[in-house]
Amino acid sequence: MIYVDNVTKEFKKVVKESGLKGSISSLFCRTYQTVRAVDDISFHVPKGEILGFIGANGAGKSTTIKMLTGILTPTSGKVKINGQVPYKNRKKYVQEIGVVFGQRTQLWWDLPLTETFSVLQQIYQVEEQEFQKRMAFLNQVLELEEFIKSPVRTLSLGQRMRADLAASMIHNPKVLFLDEPTIGLDVAVKNNIRKAITEINQQEQTTIILTTHDLNDIESLCKRIVMIDKGKIMYDGSLTEMKSKFGKYREVNFSLEQEAEFEKLSFAADFQVEKEDIKVNRSKEKITVTFHAGKISVQSMLSYLLKRVQIKDISVNDVNIEEIVCRMYGKEVTGA
Amino acid sequence: MRKFFRIYQSFTKAGVENAMAYRTSFLCFALGESLYCFVMYFIWKAIFLSSGDSSFLGFSMTDMTVYVFLSNLVGFLISTDSTDNLAEEIHDGSIIMRMIKPVNIDYSILAFELGNKVMVITCIFLPVMVGVEIYRYVTLGYVAFQLGNFLLFVVSVIFSYLLSFYLNLIFGYLAFFLLNIWGFSILKSSIINFFSGALIPLAFFPGAVRLVFEQLPFASLVYVPTMIYMGKYTGEELAFALGKQIFWLLAFVGISRFIWSLAQKRLAVQGG
């Protein structure tokens, strides 16, 4: 469905020296610097898969999405989606894809939402019957009814995002690109949107590429993730595999009957492990200890705690993916 | 072809509704521009009165009045925001929302703007034209309106508008390379105002200068349709004037397509 092979994108950037002097000299003589935003990445996505595309800010996610949607032309490498090359014959290619850029809107700012949909119906040449069916479906999963007659500028962010998502799917695209579709939304709306994405994926076998900073999105939607950093792919595989590979960590959350007892605990010394294998985080009453389960068993950790202090409340969890990603980003930065 | 119209007609419809959404702003614009017409009218009246002649370089006072109002009218009809709109979209990166739709960039902007033109024609053009004709009837004592000239005028204005649109689009595309085109936009307006005869009829310029100005694309914008409406062009002259419009239109469409293809290759989308 989606083939990305050895794709690289470079930008030319003007280098400006700082200060007024720099500004003036750059008026006459400009020096350029080549920035490699995406560096030789390859991945394939089969039909019907939801792929999570993650990375820190500026890692090259958006640039990649822009190449896949035909907006940017790669400096080198090949992209083939739906049997077409995105940046060649743009008009034909975009007919079969849907795109949401969470930070922008494709809706007509001053017009009621219904107008945007009818313009889109014409643009994509959707038959009336098909259009009605589609609208009914989107209405049901995204609950557009309550604001469909209001001008877009009066919508709340959550409403707008739901509308944008609907607008990207009005023509039943084969591939859907969602660039941060949950940015800035509250938990309820996020859940709503996730539910809608899942439903659409299951009903229509839509292939979806999703970028996000909210790892809960990834956890509830994607089986597979691609992580990118500084333009390079750092990880490509299933979520569970990543967890077992990088996530040998567990965390114990607990609170104490008497807070002063916290002094009795000194984990690193008592367990005789290195500092990076155990991390203690204390916020008000709640204490979180993250530890490497391969070096300290859950059992020994629990018995250690129960022996030393009086515990009011305790729970043991998998480390969430956020923690894993943080560690991976950190690793790359320090070069370890 | 029908598919083509169905697609872009939806943009025009949205354009009309968009213009309706800001009625007050539109009315203020119409009022402001009419005031400007009257200022121009009084300036030329003063010039005529001080010269003491009943005609000035072949223009009577009636001609001059008609020219002032009509050339301003043509100015509205062919005015376009495509430079600023496009440059703005390029500047803040929202042009990508246009690129992910299966439509032509230029046609979609054009079709949307036509919606606004529908408003200009019904709310400004028709009333002012009727006013001008009444004025001509009162001062001349006979009906000067000629259907033939009017139809040729309509054709010529359509060419002018497209010419103006593509000229402005080219300036808009420059934003891909310059990223901020505010200065260029001002320069462009001054050039167009001066060379198009919107400020001073080109007929008033000395021979050689006029000859050069008349060949430039800018003269085709306002001067040609206005002169056609007033019946100042006949036969060969008329055909030549329309031919020039078509020539420049094709040239500009070609240039804009070329720049767009260049721009796509080196496109750097700003802001995420």
* pLDDT, tens only, A17-73: 677 777 777 667 777 778 888 999 999 999 999 999 988 777 888 889 999 998 888
The answer to whether position B270 is within a domain reads no
Interface of A with B in 105-144 (CB under 8 A): 105-106, 108, 110-111, 115, 118-119, 121-125
Spatial strand order of the sheet with A31-45 comes to A31-45, A2-15, A76-81
Minimal C-alpha gap between B147 and chain A (Å): 37
Residue A269: which CATH number? 3.30.70.250
Pick from A73, A309, A67: which is nearest to B266 by CA?
A73
- Two tokens at B243? 């031919």
Continuous segment of H or E residues that includes residue B111: helix B105-120
- Comparing alpha-carbon positions, the chain A residue that sits nearest to B10 is A119
pLDDT at A322 over 50: yes
**B260 or A321: which leads in pLDDT:** B260
- Comparing alpha-carbon positions, the chain A residue that sits nearest to B95 is A71
- Comparing alpha-carbon positions, the chain A residue that sits nearest to B267 is A72
- Comparing alpha-carbon positions, the chain A residue that sits nearest to B22 is A110
Minimal C-alpha gap between A176 and chain B (Å): 12
- B14 part of contact set with chain A, CB < 8 Å: yes
Task: Note whether B7 contacts A122, CB cutoff 8 Å.
Answer: yes
On chain A, the residues whose CB falls within 8 A of the CB of B103 are 91, 123
Q: Are A210 and A51 in contact (CB under 8 A)?
A: yes
pLDDT at B250 over 90: yes
Is residue B146 classed as helix, strand or coil in its secondary structure? coil
Task: Note whether B93 contacts A104, CB cutoff 8 Å.
Answer: yes
- Same domain? For A58 and A166 the reply is yes
Residue A207: which CATH number? 3.40.50.300
Query: Between A and B, how many CB-CB pairs are < 8 A?
Result: 76
Task: Note whether B272 contacts A99, CB cutoff 8 Å.
Answer: no
Minimal C-alpha gap between A226 and chain B (Å): 19
Name which of B10, B22, B267 is nearest A119 (Cβ-Cβ): B10
The answer to whether position B271 is within a domain reads no
With 0.90 as the threshold, say if the pTM is over it.
no
Task: Note whether A101 contacts B17, CB cutoff 8 Å.
Answer: no
Largest CA distance in chain B: 65
Interface of A with B in 219-248 (CB under 8 A): none
Residue A333 is predicted with a pLDDT of: 43
The pLDDT tens digits of the residues spanning B207-242 come to 888 888 888 888 888 888 998 998 888 889 899 999
- Same domain? For A238 and A123 the reply is yes
Task: Note whether A111 contacts B102, CB cutoff 8 Å.
Answer: no
Candidates A66, A176, A213, partner chain B, best to mutate (most B CBs within 10 A): A66
Residue A168 is predicted with a pLDDT of: 93
Domain holding A209, by residue range, is 2-243
- Comparing alpha-carbon positions, the chain A residue that sits nearest to B21 is A110
Name which of B6, B9, B96 is nearest A71 (Cβ-Cβ): B96
Residue A209 is predicted with a pLDDT of: 94
pLDDT interval class at A284 (50, 70, 90): confident
How distant, in Å, are the alpha carbons of A113, A188, A313, B17, B144 from that of B114? 21, 42, 68, 11, 30
The answer to whether position A325 is within a domain reads no
The answer to whether position A98 is within a domain reads yes
On chain B, the residues whose CB falls within 8 A of the CB of A121 are 10
- Show which of A228, A243, A258 is a domain's final residue: A243
Task: Note whether A90 contacts B10, CB cutoff 8 Å.
Answer: no
C-alpha to C-alpha distance for A244 and A199, rounded to whole angstroms: 28
The answer to whether position B254 is within a domain reads yes
In 10 A of CB B140, how many CB atoms?
11
The answer to whether position A40 is within a domain reads yes
In 10 A of CB A56, how many CB atoms?
18
Q: Are A184 and A156 in contact (CB under 8 A)?
A: no
In 10 A of CB B124, how many CB atoms?
19
Q: What is the mean pLDDT of chain A?
A: 85
Pairing of strands A278-283, A224-229: unpaired
Task: Note whether B99 contacts A94, CB cutoff 8 Å.
Answer: yes
Task: Note whether A106 contacts B101, CB cutoff 8 Å.
Answer: yes
- Same domain? For A92 and A200 the reply is yes
On chain B, the residues whose CB falls within 8 A of the CB of A94 are 99-102
Candidates B99, B106, B265, partner chain A, best to mutate (most A CBs within 10 A): B99
- B1 part of contact set with chain A, CB < 8 Å: no
Name which of B97, B104, B265 is nearest A104 (Cβ-Cβ): B97
**Number of domains composing chain B:** 1
Bridge partners of residue A8, in order along the sequence:
A76
- Same domain? For A214 and A268 the reply is no
CB environment B154-193: b (16+ within 10 A), e (fewer): eebbebbbbbbbbbbbbbbbbbbeeeebeebbeebeeebb
- Show which of A243, A270, A289 is a domain's final residue: A243
pLDDT, average across residues B118-144: 88
- Same domain? For A204 and A88 the reply is yes
- Same domain? For A231 and A271 the reply is no
pLDDT at A329 over 80: no
- Compute the half-sphere exposure of residue B151: CA atoms within 13 Å on the CB side of its CA: 2
On chain B, the residues whose CB falls within 8 A of the CB of A119 are 10-11, 13-14
- Same domain? For A154 and A199 the reply is yes
Q: Are A68 and A81 in contact (CB under 8 A)?
A: yes
- Same domain? For A259 and A225 the reply is no
- Same domain? For A171 and A107 the reply is yes
- Same domain? For A215 and A308 the reply is no
pLDDT interval class at B267 (50, 70, 90): low
> By percentage, how much of chain B surpasses pLDDT 90?
19
Interface of A with B in 1-40 (CB under 8 A): 11
The pLDDT tens digits of the residues spanning A167-199 come to 999 999 999 999 989 888 888 889 988 998 999
Domain holding B208, by residue range, is 2-265
Minimal C-alpha gap between B109 and chain A (Å): 13
C-alpha to C-alpha distance for B132 and A314, rounded to whole angstroms: 88
- Same domain? For A43 and A176 the reply is yes
Between A203-207, A304-308, B160-164, B254-258, the lowest mean confidence (pLDDT) is in A304-308
pLDDT, average across residues B172-191: 81
Residues 6+ apart with CB under 8 A from B98: B89, B105, B108
- Comparing alpha-carbon positions, the chain B residue that sits nearest to A65 is B272
In 10 A of CB B197, how many CB atoms?
26
- Comparing alpha-carbon positions, the chain B residue that sits nearest to A89 is B102
The answer to whether position B35 is within a domain reads yes
- Same domain? For A9 and A103 the reply is yes
The answer to whether position A334 is within a domain reads no
**Number of domains composing chain A:** 2
- B43 part of contact set with chain A, CB < 8 Å: no
Residue B266 is predicted with a pLDDT of: 67
Interface of A with B in 62-81 (CB under 8 A): 62, 66, 69-73
Task: Note whether B18 contacts A110, CB cutoff 8 Å.
Answer: yes
